[in-house]
Structure 1
Amino acid sequence: MFLRPLDPAADGAALHRIFGDPDCCTWLPDPAFADLDATIAKLREWTTGFEATSWVICETPDGPALGRIALYNVGRDEDVWEAACMVTPAARGRNYAARGLYAAIRYLFENTTARRVFADIDPDNHASIRTFEKLGFTREGVLRGEWQTHIGIRDSVIFGLLRTDSLTDIPNPPELITA
């Protein structure tokens, strides 16, 4: 397994399996993208903006994208980052999200001054909650009525991991390709 930098044009079709699927996008602020062009446009926006640290999960270095791992600084504090992940339905059940997040977060802590990584998760997104708990993130609280989404107003569960915490070791982490 590998993590390589996301290329919106090259990875767009594979990632549209996630971002074009209404079920996959249930917990996102916006609904699934209507077509491939919309997915590629959003991936371009994300990867040239605050999500410049966005990777795809793949079986081989040049293989198709099976998911996406993103770490991004939302600008409030240069040492506080948010983590996000999504995996295509066909690739679920192989621990790709936890393995990819593990490699990306280790890279972040080893190569930046980041002191904290957090995840903002819908309370009904049980798979995502399990993934972050598996990595050693601490449930810090609930923000009630935090998001206006395509499915209504939703709460957020906040999970956090400090540089000084123990990131739980995950077997078989991917090789991270940085360039």
Structure 2
Amino acid sequence: MPAPTLTTARLVLRQLREDDAAALFPVLSDPEVMTWWSSGPHTSPAETEDYVKGNASEGEGYLCWAITAGDDTALGWVILIDGKPDVKEIGYILHRDHWGRGIVREAAARVIEHGFADLKLRRIFADTDPENTGSIGLLERLGFQREGHLRGEWETHIGVRDSLIYGLLRDEWMEKRK
């Protein structure tokens, strides 16, 4: 099932497509954007094509929305990854030229709303690097609470890294919206 189109005041979130690869190569090849990603910067458009194709696939245990604003060009994405029943993990990435404008917050909030209101999830969580202050700040502004610190959790292009786990419950989200 494709991700349903979601809208906000400034954004249209639509199913990620294979043809988004060209627009996303500058994102996924940017060393600064990819610092905290589980894999290093992409070195070729073909690598990005394969990666986007995997994330654009339907029926693979996740929903992935391209973040667009004003036109149909993908600026990044928000993804919900299957976990336990009624639980999903959220992830996001955005072109560095659009950082600091509240775009990921707006997009993630809309996906969270969809997750709790339409998918009837009970919990959404995120896994982030302890040094990724931008992501930590975003999660906390969205109402996520730090739930755990996993030592030596990931082997990445910058070495073995710890993870911070943040969680948000449906009741907390609904209360925050009041």
Identify the TM-score tier after normalising by the shorter chain.
0.7 to 0.9
Q: Give 5+ residue unaligned stretches, structure 2.
A: 1-10
Distance in 1 separating the partners of 2:51 and 2:103: 23
TM-score w.r.t. length of structure 1: 0.86
Q: Give 5+ residue unaligned stretches, structure 1.
A: 170-179
Distance in 1 separating the partners of 2:18 and 2:31: 20
Alignment of 1:104-115 (within 5 A): 104-115=111-122
CA contact (8 A) 2:16 2:55 kept: no
Give structure 1 regions of 4+ aligned residues with deviation exceeding 6 angstroms.
none
Cα offset for 1:15?
1.1
| Matched residues, number | 164
Cα offset for 1:78?
2.4
Q: Is 1:87 paired with 2:98? A: no
**Higher relative contact order at CA 8 Å, sep ≥6: structure 1 or structure 2?**
1
- 2:42 maps to 33
Partner SS state of residue 100, structure 1 = helix
Distance in 1 separating the partners of 2:138 and 2:35: 17
Partner SS state of residue 42, structure 1 = helix
Identify the range of structure 1 (125-134 vs 12-21) with the bigger mean alpha-carbon deviation.
Answer: 12-21
Name the % identity: 37
- 1:136 maps to 143
Equivalent residue for 2:25, pick from 2, 12, 16: 16
Two-structure CA RMSD over aligned residues (Å): 1.4
TM-score w.r.t. length of structure 2: 0.87
Alignment of 1:1-179 (within 5 A): 1-9=11-19, 11-48=20-57, 49-51=60-62, 53-60=63-70, 62-74=71-83, 77-166=84-173, 168=176
